Amino acid sequence: MENNFYRNKVTVITGASSGIGKAIAIDFAQRGSIVVLGARREKQLKEVVEIIKEKGGEATYCVVDVTQDSLCKKLIETAITKYGRIDILVCNAGISMRANFNEVNIAVLHRLMDVNFWGTVYCVKHALPHLLKLKGSIVGISSIAGIHGLPGRTGYSASKFALTGFLETVRIENLKNKLHVMIAIPGFTASNIRYTALTADGSPQGDTPRNENKMMSAESVAKNIANGVKRKKHYLLLNMEGIAVSFVKRITTSFLDKSFYKVMAKEPNSPLK
C-alpha cells in the first residue's frame, strides 16, 4: 500500500500553522504519519491538529519560535516524550524580505538568518541523535533564491544558501550512518510567505506582489515532498523555474542576473529602480 512507508512514522514539522508547513502536516498525516507541529501561532496550530484528527490522523503541537534554541529543543522533546521517536524532520519555518540592500536595516537580515538558517540548525541539532537511531530523514525547504541570488532579497537568498550548505554538509558527514537529507526547492508557491515578507524597516509587507493563482499550490508541494522523502532524493526541484535556473546557472550567470532583475523589477512597488 502507498501509505505503508509513512505508517506510524513520527514527523516533526516547523512552520506548520499555515502554507507549505500546514499542507505537509495534512498530507503526511493522511499517508499514515504521526505529525508533531511547531509554529508560533497556537490558535492556528490547534486548527491544523483538529483538521488532521477529523480525518482520522494523529497529531500534536508545540508552540515554538525557531529563533530560540531552547524552544526548538522543547519541540523535539515533545515528539520524543509523547511518541518515543522521530523518523522525519521537516525544517519549513521561514520568512522572506523585499528591499534593496542599500536601503534595508541590517536587523532585517539578522532576522532572516535567525529564522531561516539558525531555526534549521537548532532543530537539526536536537533531532539528529534520534534521527540517526532510525536512519531517518531531514528535509530542508529552500528556494530558487538558494540557487541564485534574487535582487531585493539579499537576506533571504543568503539564508537559503546557508541552509543548503549546512544540510549538504550534515548529509556528507553522515553518509556511513545512512541519514537521508533532502533539500526541496519549490519555486514560487502560493503561500503566506510573501504577505509576511519584511520590508526595509522590518515591517511586514502585508500584501503579495505576485499573482498567487499562477503559482504551484502548497498542497502540490507537500505531495511532491512526501514522494521525495519516500524515494530518498537528495534534491527536489519542483517546477520548471527551479530546473531552468539550476541548468542555466551552469552555463551563464550574467543571463540569470539580468533575467531575475527584469522579473523582480516588474512587481508592483518594486524596490528595484
Catalytic amino acids? 156
Please enumerate in sequence order all residues whose Cβ is within 8 A of that of 208, keeping only pairs 6 or more positions apart, or say none.
194, 195
β-pair partners for 184: 141, 236
